[in-house]
Amino acid sequence: MKNISAKIKYFFLSVKENILTKMLGRHLDTSFSNSTSKTIISGTETVTLSAQTNQNIELVRKNVSDIMSACANNPDKLLEYIEAQGTKVYKLKNADKILKSIGEEEGLITPLKGYKALYLNFFIKHKIGFTSTPAIVLSEGIIEPYYLLREFYKWYSLNMKLPGFNFEAQENFKKYLKNVNDPSIRKLNYKSMLELKEAIARDSEANEFVINAVKQKEGGANVFKKMNNGGANI
């Protein structure tokens, strides 16, 4: 994938995520705030968001930017960094086909449960287990730098314990990303809606980071010139 292709791809994904965020916002409209937290209330359910989350979001952005510069956005070096932090990296033949069977894509695989975890554990660890730990799973061969950068960003956010990476939130995110008008969204309780909103936010933050990285690499004016001239395939 060319740099400009990456930029456009993640731009349109961000637009779709923004639509879903606005839809969720209409359901998350009962709240009160102070300088350090925001509490969402629905019936007997109360969920409080700490201001620490926002601080960590900024810290992730800064740290990933520093790491990217230090590694010159070299995929192999980023993978070495991930492994050094204790997350396993697996390169498999036909990883895309293996992951597609359980609705996953190459890159960061967040913690799974049930049959998905069982399937993944069997293929990557040759073990049986109904829960799995975070891992990076890729196909053998050349790694597209900006795709991996996006996955690295999400991995770093997960490692910083930002919300939105729990199994249920990620499952709902994948489901609604395919169909933002799915009526079952109204059946989610407030806690599930809030977790889904956080999952969308984490993905959007990764997309935005990659878009900005491509712009800096290509040069802002050059990027938009290519876009206007139709110089990329999505």
Q: What is the mean pLDDT of each run of 10 residues along the chain (234 residues)?
A: 52 60 56 44 52 90 98 97 98 95 97 98 93 97 95 98 96 86 80 90 94 81 48 35
Domain total of the chain: 1
Q: Is residue 67 part of a domain?
A: yes
Q: Torsions phi, psi of 174, nearest 5?
A: -65, -40
What are the beta bridge partners of residue 47?
40
Closest of 179, 140, 136 to residue 154, by C-alpha: 136
Task: Please compute Rg for the chain using Cα positions.
Answer: 18
Domain that holds residue 168: 3-228
Q: Is residue 104 part of a domain?
A: yes
Q: Is residue 82 part of a domain?
A: yes
- pLDDT for residue 163: 94
- pLDDT for residue 171: 95
- Which amino acid would we find at residue 63? N
| Extended strands (E) in 29-148 | 31-33, 37-42, 45-50, 88-92, 107-109, 135-139
- pLDDT for residue 230: 43
> CA triplet 188, 28, 53: central angle to 5 degrees?
100
Q: Is residue 234 part of a domain?
A: no
Q: Is residue 152 part of a domain?
A: yes
Q: Is residue 177 part of a domain?
A: yes
Q: Is residue 205 part of a domain?
A: yes
Q: Model pTM greater than 0.95?
A: no
Q: Is residue 233 part of a domain?
A: no
- pLDDT for residue 186: 76
Supply 102's token pair. Answer: 């359980």
